[in-house]
Chains A and B, each alone.
Chain A
């Protein structure tokens, strides 16, 4: 691979890093050489706070990543069914205040 090809997503959330919890506003996703997991290539996700440049990194096998995508979708679908319209705060509005 050896490329700088990445996918980026603007996100709103928090992650726990080496110094505790922090806001994260960007996810950087790429399928290339990992640093730690013993694979030649992995699906790597960096959850980044663009202000402090701190990140929480995850390196997954391709199969693990695909399974994760399916499970995230399933969790969202079931969660939406239960909680939709329950009066939760608007994440877009919260993002502007953090």
Chain B
């Protein structure tokens, strides 16, 4: 079911350590009840692609919040704030998890919520989605879109990102959908295979889809990496997956 009448606004939410941050909130009009989705933006920041993706999910019936992971870094153009975040080594996994938990609580507190909340993320947000699905107790469905470094090089671990997400896989407690391009280098197909093997060994509920002719970020209409055919199919799988698990 789709909703042409949606409402979008910037709202305040309570993130990690009780800090107040900004989030983009797009939801279908009507009494609901509606499932919720937390959309984790990619490294470039809280930018137009992610905001538009939130509206797309709302159009398909999901009250969607895209919280700004960089709200503590000041105001400015999303690309400038994204550059600032990068120069500071990004946000810590603990802070990110606290913010996602806060965004989930925001969704569940709405009067027309159905109580179920999924998480989706692109690129670095895919990695953070994987972490959220493993570390947060109340995620009902998760979609990892080409998240890199789910299997991290030990040399790349640091104080902000101290543990490879794959090491938390035993704690994954919701269905996981993964979308990947076979031409991607991060994650490369071999890494995706390794992640899938671990999910399978641990008896987790997951479905992975791999696309030929696509690399990284093939949903992003603003980049040369955009692949319309694969993106259309991928979005359909996302919507179907969330409808099945959150409806």
Contacts and interface: CB of A to CB of B under 8 A. Distances in A.
A1 B148 contact: yes
B38 interface: no
Nearest to A26: B87
B53 to A, nearest CB: 16
Contact of A40 (B85, B87, B148, B223): B223
Nearest to B183: A40
A49 to B, nearest CB: 12
Main secondary structure of the interface of A (DSSP, over half): loop
B80 interface: yes
A55 B80 contact: yes
Interface stretch (A31-39, A76-84, A90-98): A31-39
A57 B83 contact: yes
Nearest to B47: A35
Contacts of A39: 224
A42 B149 CA distance: 19
Name which of A26, A35, A39 has the most chain B CB atoms within 10 A of its CB: A35
Interface in B80-97: 80, 82-87, 89-90
Contacts of A89: none
B73 to A, nearest CB: 9
B230 interface: no
Contacts of B156: 3, 5
Given A4-B90, A33-B123, 18 more contacts: A1-B186, A1-B216, A2-B127, A2-B147, A3-B43, A3-B149, A3-B156, A3-B186, A4-B85, A6-B87, A28-B87, A35-B82, A38-B223, A40-B224, A40-B225, A46-B83, A53-B74, A57-B80
Cβ-closest 5 pairs across A and B? A4-B90, A2-B148, A35-B79, A2-B124, A28-B87
